[in-house]
Structure formats: C-alpha cells, structure tokens
C-alpha cells in the first residue's frame, strides 16, 4: 500500500507502509521512531494531525519490542532487563525496602485504630500496658491465689461457707448458715444476764439453780452465824434474821398495814383492802373482776367491759349531744337548727305514712301522684301546648316535632267538631249555600255534590273500605312502611335530601316528620324532596295517611309517580296543603309543562288520606282523597301517553317564596 503517516498523540507524523517494522518507521525528517525512543527517551512534537491523517494511540499498539539495550533510570526506565534487578535499581527490594504481601496485613491496613489504641501500642512493656489499661496489681495474681488487701467487693455471688464466707448477703441469712440463729442457737443479749454474770456468787448461783425447795433449804443450813442474809431459825443469836450490817433483827413484823392484812382470814375470790389507817377487810374479787384488772390499758379494759367506742357505745358527738338535750314529745322529730344545735318539728301520722315508703314510686302512690293514673307523665308535646298563650276562639295544633301554635277555631268549626254523629255533621253541612266552595251535601246546588274552586261541579264517589283503615295489614308488602324504626328503611331513596338551613328529618314512633324550607317559588321539581321507591311491574295502588300544614304559594306534600329522574319531564302528583288552605291538588308535568286541578277540601286537623291507582293496561292514573280513610272522593284521572312510571313515593314540595319552614308528618305508606 502507499506510504502512510501516523502520530503518537500529537507527535508525528511517522511514515510507514504495510511492509514497515518499528525500526523502519521514521519522521519526515528521516529520524527513525525506534532510534529516537532508544537514544533520547523523548518524542518530539511537531503539531496536531489533521482528520485525514492516521493517529495511533499507544493503547492501540499490541506490542512494542525495543532492541539494543535497556532504558536507564534517568530516562524513565528501570535500568534493568529483569524484575529482580529492576526492584533493586528502584530501591524496592522485598523484605528490605518494602514489606512482603500478607493477607493479615491487608486486614490490618483496613482497621481503624483509635488514639487510645495508639497509646497502648507505644507501651514498652506489659507493666506500661497494664498502666494504660488502668489495671491494678490484682491483674498479675493467679486465679487460684488471689490476695485482696483493700477496697470493697460488690456484685458477686455470695461466698459459700466452705470457701470461708457466710453463703449470704444479709446478717439474718448469715447467722442461719453459720448455725447462730438468735433465740435458737445462741441466747439473745439481756442486761439481766450481764448482771448475773458480773455479780452472782457461786453460792448465789447454787441457790438459783437448785432443783427444788428442799435443795435450797439444805443450802441455807450451811450458812454460819456470821453470814449475811436470811438464815434458818436455828441460826446464831437469839433471833433468826441477820441484817446486812451483821446485826440481828427480830423476825416479827411491826408495820400496822401489814399487821392489819396479816390479821385477815384469806378466802377464795377475796381481795384485801384498807378500811382505815391500820385496818383492813376483804372484798369480793370475782373471776370477771380479775379479767379487768389484768388488762394492759384502757382500750383493753373497754373491750373486756363490752364498751368499745364505735362498736358497743357511741363516741361523743356534738350533734348527738344536741339531740340528747331535747325533750321528746308525741308526733315530733328532731332536726338541726345549726351546727351542734337541734329542735323538734311536728311529724304527723300522715307525714309518717309516706316517710316509711321504700322508694319514689311508693311515695307518689301514697301522695296520690301516680304518673299515668293521678298525674300526667311529662311530654314534650304537652309542654309545647302548655307554652301557648290561650285566647278566645283558638285551638292548638302542632307546627313541628314538639312545637305547637294556635289556629282559629270558629263557632262553625266547634259545631262541626261537637256534632254527635255523621248525621248531625251532615245537617250542619246542609246549611252551606249553593255558591260555597268545598264539600257540600248531596242536596246542595247542581246535580252533584262537590264544587271545584273554579265554581264547576263534579261527582263524588264513595269507595267502601273493609276493616279499620289505620290497622297495618297482616301481610304487608315489601313497599309498605309504618315508620316505627329510628331511621328510614333502606328501601327509600331521596332525590334531594332536606338538609338546608332549618330543614330536618325525624323517623320513629309511627311517623316520618319532615320540615322543609322555602325554595323561592321556582315550581321546579329539582327543588322538590322526593322520597321514592322503584315501581313494581304491573298495576299498583299506593295510599298514605298524612298530616301537614300548608303555608302559602304552591307549598304542598303528598304522593307522586314519575319517570326515572330527579327532575323528570313526565310526573304526576296528588298533594294537600296547597296555598295555605284545606286544599287538595293533583298536578301533572308532561313533556316539561305543568297542568293541575285543585279543590278546597275540609279535612280535620290538617289530616287526609291520599291514594293513586295506576292501571298498566291503559296507563291510567286515578286520584282519590279521603278525610277519614273510609269515604273516598274520586278526585280525577289521567291517561299517560308515551311514558310509564319508574318511581313512586312521597313528595315534599316547598314551592314558595314566603320565608319560613313547613311541617309534614306521614303516618304510613302502603302499596297494594
């Protein structure tokens, strides 16, 4: 191939071809690469090669072989052609200049030696090492020959008796282990024993330890007339009592009190006592009296006498003293007038008749105040009524849970309420004029007996109802609810839960009580509170008993059926309470447009029964209303077109712009 050029780093170019050896490669000036390296140990740098020129790195050269000698030390070589000579030339002789490799030295090289470790390593001998470690002379003693000459020992196992110890860590256990238990093995210290050991003579000790009285008499017979103390009657002199000063004294007693006692004749259970100076007599001293005089203190004496304070007798008390100071009298009882003072109060036989009662129930019975028989039990409902201010021609009614108000109660209303029978009530209705609005008897105007609010007449149909309408069915359906629990059954769902300010839901005791607030008079079903269930397949009838107070505008509450939506376009409802009067209204919202029919209905105390009947074959809704659940008015009907109901239930529609809240109570809901 053609001659090529190469650089070693920035040195070059060197000229070569595919036949060239390292000795042949030369610079452009003719100097050979090998000669330059060998002779100078240097490379000359001419400049930086261009991109089209070859650059050869030393790392790319597989092997460079130099011939003709070695590279001296001053030229960057070793000055040798073998490892041993190279190490010698470089001052790296193993074992002389450098340490031979060792695995243990590798480990030591990785270890961390603290300042204290270095202070131990530079110690010259074992003694200095022990001093650095803070070890005393005991460290140099053999384990089987340890001598302790001072200090204290703690935290060790008790030394056994066999090892010269006591085998214990306290004095009591040590005495037990050594067989020196006080009172068992050795005598406890006593001062009297010290006296005996110090002062007793051998003769005295012989007398003290004589076996019996005879032995002691024999010892006394050995006394001489010069002895000191008591001697037998046969002793020296003319008397038998030798004083300590060695003078003899008469044996007779000369003390008057002792003579008086000596003159008594002893007897069982008798005790001598003095009757005067030098005179004495005997008194009875029973076994019981002896149990008293042997008592150690007053407390023991009181116990013997059965007079223990707080058990047998009452401790002194100022209040008891005050009562004790009173003069008792018939039909009187003590009472305190102050601290430590008392007086009597009159307690009649009648008062005592309930003071002996065992509990509050019995006291109420004695006083004729039995709750539920003599007096009324407390009721929040009655309390609400009691809080009203009565006025003429007014009657109380409830506005919410435990809340009541007054409403007008006219003479006509009182006549209707006071009527003795339905016949009497019908007679009162006969007095209505033909132009009156509302429920009128059959004999009144037109050809029918129900006058709409717009002045037109409609037919009233009475439906027979078997049994008592408020009695729960024997086999209720899954849709029925008597509202007996403390919360709504899971079968119900709210389209909009009443939870605005002033709104509430109360369930229990056979009632669903709902308080709703005005919605601004929007007449929008999205603002209505619909409590619903999914309708069953086929035809159905829903009925409810409902109590409510209508306020104003379009506020109403009752039954409904609609499509499956919280703001349905197709919806029917039968409601009461409309526009604050005794009105029943049925509405339908079809394709978003409202149509309604309403009537003034007189129903007692804002209570009415509502019913919607749906017939699936004709998709027809029939609406009924009743004041008593027995006589029903066929209110109206509607044939649905293009839609079928998916929900039915109870609606609370506070559709009013008047500020306030509106109360509704649903007594029950049934599906048949």
What confidence tens digit (pLDDT) does each residue in 545-576 have?
Answer: 988 765 556 678 899 999 988 888 899 999 88
What pLDDT shows up at residue 571? 92
Q: How far is CA 383 from CA 167, 401, 405, 441, 663, in A?
A: 85, 12, 12, 39, 19
ω into 141 cis (within 30 of 0): no
Q: How far is CA 438 from the centre of its chain?
A: 63
Phi, psi of 501 (to 5 degrees): -60, 125
What whole-number distance in Å separates Cα of residue 227 and Cα of residue 204? Answer: 13
Q: How far is CA 543 from CA 403, 573, 584, 600, in A?
A: 27, 12, 15, 20
Contacts of 563 (CB under 8 A, 6+ apart): 569, 570, 571, 643, 645, 646, 647
Show the low-confidence residues of the chain (pLDDT under 70): 1-70, 75-76, 194-210, 213-254, 426-427, 429-469, 519-523, 549-554, 578-582, 598-605, 656-659
Q: How far is CA 522 from CA 518, 527, 537, 563, 657, in A?
A: 10, 8, 33, 20, 8
What pLDDT shows up at residue 448? 43
Query: To which residue do tokens 């030295």 refer?
Result: 105
Among residues 648, 667, 652, which one has the least CA distance to residue 515?
Answer: 652
Burial status of residue 24 (CB atoms within 10 A of its CB: 0-12, 13-18, 19 or more): middle
Q: Are 584 and 602 in contact (CB under 8 A)?
A: no
Tokens standing for residue 104 = 């243990």
467-671 maps to which CATH number?
2.60.120.200
Query: To which residue do tokens 């929007």 refer?
Result: 522
Tokens standing for residue 163 = 């090892």
Contacts of 269 (CB under 8 A, 6+ apart): 284, 285, 286, 287
Listed in order, the ranges of the chain carrying CATH 2.60.120.200 are 467-671
For residue 453, how many other CB atoms are within 10 A of its CB?
16
Q: How far is CA 280 from CA 53, 192, 262, 267, in A?
A: 158, 37, 9, 14
Phi, psi of 410 (to 5 degrees): -70, 170
Question: What angle do the packed helices 411-418 and 422-429 form, to 10 degrees?
Answer: 150
What pLDDT shows up at residue 533? 96
């Amino acid at each position: 191939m053609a001659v090529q050029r190469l650089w070693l780093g920035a040195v070059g170019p060197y000229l070569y071809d595919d036949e060239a050896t390292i000795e042949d490669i030369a610079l452009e000036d003719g100097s050979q690469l090998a000669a330059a390296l060998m002779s100078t140990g240097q490379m000359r740098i001419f400049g930086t090669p261009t991109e089209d020129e070859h650059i050869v790195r030393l790392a790319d050269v597989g092997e460079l072989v130099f011939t003709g000698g070695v590279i001296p030390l001053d030229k960057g070589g070793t000055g040798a052609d073998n490892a041993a000579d190279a190490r010698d030339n470089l001052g790296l002789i193993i074992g002389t200049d450098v340490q031979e490799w060792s695995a243990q030295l590798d480990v030591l090289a990785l270890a961390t030696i603290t300042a204290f470790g270095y202070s131990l390593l530079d110690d010259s001998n074992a003694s200095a090492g022990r001093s650095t470690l803070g070890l005393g002379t005991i460290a140099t003693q053999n384990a089987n020959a340890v001598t302790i000459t001072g200090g204290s020992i703690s935290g060790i196992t008790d030394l056994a008796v066999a090892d010269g110890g006591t085998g214990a860590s306290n004095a009591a256990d040590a005495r037990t282990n050594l067989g020196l238990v006080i009172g068992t093995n050795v005598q406890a210290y006593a001062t009297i024993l010290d006296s005996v050991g110090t002062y007793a003579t051998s003769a005295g000790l012989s007398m003290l330890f004589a076996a019996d009285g005879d032995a002691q008499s024999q010892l006394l017979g050995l006394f001489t007339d010069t002895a000191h103390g008591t001697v037998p009657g046969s002793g020296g002199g003319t008397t038998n009592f030798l004083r300590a000063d060695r003078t003899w004294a008469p044996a007779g007693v000369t003390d008057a009190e002792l003579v008086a006692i000596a003159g008594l004749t002893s007897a069982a259970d008798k005790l001598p006592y003095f009757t005067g100076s030098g005179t004495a007599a005997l008194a009875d001293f029973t076994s019981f009296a002896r149990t008293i005089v042997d008592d150690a203190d007053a407390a023991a004496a009181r116990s013997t006498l059965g007079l223990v304070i707080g058990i047998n007798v009452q401790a002194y008390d100022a209040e008891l003293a005050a009562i004790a100071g009173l003069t008792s009298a018939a039909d009187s009882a003590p009472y305190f007038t102050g601290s430590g003072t008392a007086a009597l109060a009159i307690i009649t036989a009648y008062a005592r008749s309930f003071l002996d009662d065992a509990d509050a129930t019995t006291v109420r019975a004695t006083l004729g105040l039995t709750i539920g028989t003599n007096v009324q039990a407390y009721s929040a409902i009655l309390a609400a009524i009691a809080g009203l201010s009565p006025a003429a021609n007014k009657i109380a009614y409830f506005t919410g849970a435990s809340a009541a108000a007054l409403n007008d109660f006219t003479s006509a209303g009182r006549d209707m309420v006071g009527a003795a029978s339905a016949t009497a009530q019908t007679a009162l209705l006969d007095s209505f004029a033909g132009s009156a609005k509302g429920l009128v008897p059959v004999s009144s105007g037109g050809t029918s007996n129900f006058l709409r609010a717009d002045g037109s007449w409609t037919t009233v149909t009475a439906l027979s109802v078997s049994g008592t309408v408020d009695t729960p069915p024997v086999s209720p359906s899954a849709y029925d609810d008597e509202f007996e629990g403390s919360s709504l059954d899971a079968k119900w769902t709210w389209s909009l839960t009443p939870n605005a300010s002033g709104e509430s839901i109360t369930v229990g005791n056979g009632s669903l009580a709902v308080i709703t607030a005005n919605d601004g008079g929007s007449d929008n079903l999205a603002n209505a509170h619909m409590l619903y269930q999914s309708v069953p397949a086929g035809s159905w009838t829903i009925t409810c008993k409902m109590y409510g107070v209508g306020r104003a505008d379009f506020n109403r509450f009752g039954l409904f059926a609609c499509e499956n939506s919280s703001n349905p376009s197709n919806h029917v409802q039968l409601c009461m309470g409309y526009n604050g009067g005794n009105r029943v209204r049925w509405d339908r919202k079809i394709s978003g447009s409202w149509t309604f029919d309403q009537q003034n209905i007189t129903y007692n105390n804002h209570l009415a029964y509502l019913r919607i009947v749906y017939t699936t074959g004709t998709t027809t809704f029939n609406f009924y209303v009743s004041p008593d659940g027995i006589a029903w008015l066929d209110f109206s009907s509607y044939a649905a077109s293009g839609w079928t109901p998916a929900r039915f239930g109870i609606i609370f529609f506070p559709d009013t712009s008047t500020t306030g809240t509106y109360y509704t109570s649903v007594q029950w809901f049934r599906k048949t």
